[in-house]
Structure 1
């Protein structure tokens, strides 16, 4: 899968070790507060206090709480890109449908398992900027293209199948892991069920063509 171009979301990029440590502390504190308090309880003064920095230091890198949220979302998306990039090495031309499905589902499950409470706030409460929304769309398109390329060796309508597989997996995992707190099934069990369903779909699609 092709790499998704990253965009800078902070005011000034830290260059020295001390500056990088300050930004890391600010973002860690911001993510903790956002996950616990939600958007309404999230403000820069509280973040600065939790991070152990002055409000002036925080504003050197983040002019407002929207910039902070965008940076948190940027980090979350970067993890998703890294997961999918690593998983894509399995999507060789000879990969079987079951392998393709497993790569997709496990990647989405792993991404959603990473701090589900923060994920819930980011997806339902926070006003994400157009830049971050653009990155979300790019990541989705990149994953779908990678799956479609792998599927073209097995079925005819590979692009439609790839988009359907991604959207179903993303929606189901988000609903069960993020919104329902995994109450219905453990993520690993959900992954197994999704893989069985998707493999059956691909088999039926191949038989019709």
Structure 2
């Protein structure tokens, strides 16, 4: 998190180990309550009690509910950005189409397979700040750009294909693990099916060319 983002998210930046532990406990409690009770049950007094801190201590770091939920969403986004950074190093010009698909699908599944209840709240009920919305849009654009660059060595309509691949994978994972109850398929099984479908799509494009 940058200095500007941190100032917007919390009142006072934790410096000592004890302060950092307090912030971590507050965020963990906040994430648990948000996942269980949703935005309507997201109450700072309840969060402070769950975290084992006073309400005054909570407000030292988080001025309101919005700051808390933005910090939770920021953590999720940071994981996504880290996955994109790691995947980008693998999407070199020599990578095969099958491996491009595998890198994309495994990354999206990895990001969304854990804590589906919390993801559901973040993607539906919770009002995310405009700053974080911009980061979400930038993350999507970055993934599509990396995919398009890798695909241009194999197909001609690489940008359209890149957007379709990302949107299909993201929508399917969201639908199966976030919007539903997560029992339609294990993460590994869903990843396998998505990769099979996407490889067939790319093979068809290459055959037509």
Pairwise TM-score range, normalised by the shorter structure: over 0.9
Instruction: Give 1:7's match in structure 2, choosing from 5, 13, 16.
Output: 5
Q: 1:5 to 1:44 in 2, by over 3 A?
A: closer
Compute the RMSD of aligned alpha carbons.
1.7
Corresponding position of 1:103: 103
SS in structure 1 of the partner of residue 89 of structure 2: helix
- Segments of 5+ residues of structure 1 without an aligned counterpart are none
Corresponding position of 1:158: 158
- Segments of 5+ residues of structure 2 without an aligned counterpart are none
Aligned residues of 1:95 and 1:150 also touching (Cα < 8 A): yes
Please list every run of at least 4 consecutive aligned residues from structure 1 whose deviation after the TM superposition is greater than 4 angstroms.
none
Give the Cα–Cα distance (whole angstroms) in 2 for the partners of residues 13 and 202 of structure 1. Answer: 48
Q: 1:59 to 1:186 in 2, by over 3 A?
A: same
Alignment of 1:56-135 (within 5 A): 56-135=56-135
1:132-188: CA deviations, max 9, x gaps?
Answer: 111111111111111111111111111111111000000001001111222222121
Q: May I ask how many residue pairs the two structures share in their alignment? A: 206
SS in structure 2 of the partner of residue 7 of structure 1: helix
Normalising by the residue count of structure 1, what TM-score does the alignment of the two structures yield?
0.94
Q: 1:23 to 1:53 in 2, by over 3 A?
A: same
SS in structure 2 of the partner of residue 90 of structure 1: coil
